[in-house]
Amino acid sequence: MAMHCRLSTLMGEKRYRIQDVCERTGINRTTISNLYHDKNRRVDYAVFEKLCVLFHCELNDLLYYEEE
């Protein structure tokens, strides 16, 4: 069982680079990069809130659960 992040998909739709997301949200570049590459194991709620605001989406648009 695993959670996965769709940040790379959302960024691709808007043609945002990692730097663009950092500048628009104030989130650390390493955090964005890890989410983009689906490598994070923990993330603060505030990070998800900022990303949902930026992409005008719900949390379930950003994350999904997959049974392995």
**pTM, whole model, 2 decimals?**
0.90
* pLDDT band with cut points at 50, 70 and 90 for residue 66: confident
**Long-range Cβ contacts of 36-45 (<8 Å, 24+ apart):** 36/5, 36/7, 36/8, 36/11, 37/8, 38/4, 38/5, 38/8, 40/5
pLDDT of residue 1: 59
Domain boundaries, the chain: 2-66
Max alpha carbon distance in the chain (Å)? 35
Q: Does the domain spanning 2-66 belong to CATH 3.50.50.60?
A: no
pLDDT of residue 42: 86
Point out which residues pair with 65 in neighbouring strands: 3
